[in-house]
Chain A
Amino acid sequence: DAGVIQSPRHEVTEMGQEVTLRCKPISGHDYLFWYRQTMMRGLELLIYFNNNVPIDDSGMPEDRFSAKMPNASFSTLKIQPSEPRDSAVYFCASSLPGQAKNIQYFGAGTRLSVL
């Protein structure tokens, strides 16, 4: 399996622009997680889905952030409008069903810079 695939790997944008981050989970995984990592705040869970349904979005910082999972093989995290403080590495992770379901497999991340 190719693992969790995220795109783009790097994104540089200007303040006020819309940013869309993409994630393809590992086939057969039914949980999908979006994280943000910064030096100041560490690894923060933003939102997670189970079977394409958002379960907990309490970590989404504000209304500028939205996430969707239209099918089992694709998810997006959108920031509109973006701000410099959104600069971070955004990780997507997925996990298996069953007994191993709480082990998370991370993608390589998207490094976002908002100028």
Chain B
Amino acid sequence: GQQVMQIPQYQHVQEGEDFTTYCNSSTTLSNIQWYKQRPGGHPVFLIQLVKSGEVKKQKRLTFQFGEAKKNSSLHITATQTTDVGTYFCAGFKVSNYQLIWGAGTKLIIKP
């Protein structure tokens, strides 16, 4: 069935280091969304990418959507403690109106 693979599962970084998570879909997506879930919280929508090759920025966060609309990445520059949490990608296909969720990447800041 349709899947969205997300790696890595965990990433430990020192505060100030960069962080990147990657998503790959087995099929072409209509769009891809990114959500953040803080520890003990609920997923919160960050951004949606629709166009092939699209790049969007939110302050220190950069989101990319691949040319084939099958992969995406989220890059955080100079991580801060407020960035801690799990980042999920979710691919959307209009044909079955479902978000297919990646497993998430947990960002951990080393003390």
State the A residues within 8 Å of B (CB): 31, 42-43, 45, 48, 50, 55-56, 91, 93, 102-109
Contact = CB atoms under 8 A, between A and B. Distances in A.
B31 A43 contact: no
Nearest to B33: A103
A34 to B, nearest CB: 13
Interface stretch (B16-24, B38-46, B66-74): B38-46
Interface residues of B, number: 17
14 contacts: A42-B101, A43-B88, A45-B98, A45-B99, A56-B98, A102-B92, A102-B99, A103-B45, A103-B48, A104-B45, A104-B99, A106-B42, A106-B43, A106-B44
A93 B48 CA distance: 17
Interface string B42-77: 111100100000000000000000000000000000
A91 B43 CA distance: 9
B51 to A, nearest CB: 14
- Complex A-B, nearest 8 residue pairs according to Cβ-Cβ distance, in ascending order: A106-B42, A102-B92, A42-B103, A43-B101, A106-B43, A103-B45, A109-B42, A108-B42
Nearest to A3: B42
B42 A107 contact: yes
Nearest to A43: B101
Interface of B: 31, 33, 41-45, 48, 88, 92, 96-99, 101, 103-104
Given A91-B42, A102-B97, 16 more contacts: A42-B101, A43-B101, A43-B104, A45-B98, A56-B96, A102-B31, A102-B48, A102-B92, A102-B99, A103-B33, A103-B45, A104-B43, A105-B45, A106-B42, A106-B43, A108-B42
